[in-house]
Amino acid sequence: MERIILDVDSAGDDILAVLFAAVSPQLKLEGVTTCTGAAGPIEQVTNVVLNTLALAGRSDIPVAKGAWRPIVGNAKADMEAPVHFEKRLTARFGDRLKKFNPPAPKPVTAPIAKHAADFIIDTVMASPGEITLVATGPMTNLAMAFLQEERLKDNVKRLVLLGGNFVTPGNITPLSEYNIWADAEAARVVLNQGVDTILVPLDVCEDNRAAASMMTRDDLADLEGAGNHPVLAMIRETFPIYIDIWREFFDLVGFPMDDIITVALAFDPSLCTMTEPLYCDVVLDGRLARGQTVAYRGRQLLPGGGLKTTRICTDIDGRRFMQLFKQTIALYQAA
């Protein structure tokens, strides 16, 4: 059983990732840490996680509130664009958008009295070599932890990170993926730690080449037959609008499961084909290029590069992944 800490920004697929990790028999979810990102302010992000775990009957899992802003960040209007992009969809989807990233009600439980970075440090250092850090949003909390505790890099088991793009166009600029762009400095810190890392780019989740890994209405229909547990009912009720938005706005065949794929790779790396370990860096300057991920391949004349510790996912067994997701989520009915 893999022991993980899951760091999220509570966008739509983060909710599914938390539910997946909380019930998976292959995982022990040591805690969830939260970071400002695509879902909005840190309070919204944290409340969504607390409510999600309560729905799953797993309020025993600690939640640590983390970074309320990126280390450096971008212009305020740019940073808020992913949170408010549904305004561009009002004419098409109308009142159905009320089910897309709605304000979270006040949770019954509360986060622990410890910052996310401190929780990461304390948990990893208490179990050297046993904890995998899985990050599905901006990497601010991880960067803060690595900068605060220099021994952390030698004691974490592995990093599994959602971010970047190498073939597929970016989803925030033509060259950049949102998680990396949102806190490019943090991503650069994390990727330069020399820790064994799996990087999950848009190439294997937000590209129609990976269509078999995307949630469709057929998958929701499969969950219809899995039972009426509150988790299953919430997914069937909430995610049709996500499927429709990603089909009509992003031209994808379904809703991409980026965050769940990232969590699944923590215990089954064979779901994806990967490169050999490479050095991966992040561009920090320029409006269009900021946040671009660059893998060092071949031979270059100018000096540069670093430790080759990052394996980049290049393909996915989408059918096997989606079967795994549905089988795992269906466990709620049996719980």
Residue 287: per-residue pLDDT = 86
Residue 265: per-residue pLDDT = 98
Mark 229-260 as b/e (b = at least 16 C-beta within 10 Å).
bebbeebbebbbbbbbbbbeeeebebbbbbbb
Q: Is the Cβ–Cβ distance between 220 and 235 less than 8 Å? A: yes
d(CA 183, CA 253): 29
Q: Is the Cβ–Cβ distance between 197 and 204 less than 8 Å? A: no
Beta pairing partners, 316: 272
Residue 14: per-residue pLDDT = 94
Among 188, 218, 203, 221, CA closest to 310: 188
Residue 128: per-residue pLDDT = 98
Q: Mean pLDDT, 10 residues at a time, over the chain (335 residues)?
A: 96 93 98 93 95 97 96 82 70 74 85 98 98 98 98 98 97 96 97 98 97 97 89 94 92 97 98 98 93 93 90 98 97 84
Residue 299: per-residue pLDDT = 85
d(CA 271, CA 205): 12
Give the start-end residues of each E strand in the chain.
2-8, 27-34, 63-65, 131-135, 158-162, 197-200, 272-274, 280-282, 293-295, 310-316
Residue 227: per-residue pLDDT = 83
d(CA 49, CA 32): 8
d(CA 270, CA 69): 34
Q: Would you state the structure tokens that stand for residue 261, as one six-digit string?
A: 């794929």
Among 159, 266, 164, CA closest to 205: 164
Q: Is the Cβ–Cβ distance between 177 and 165 less than 8 Å? A: yes
Residue 86: per-residue pLDDT = 67
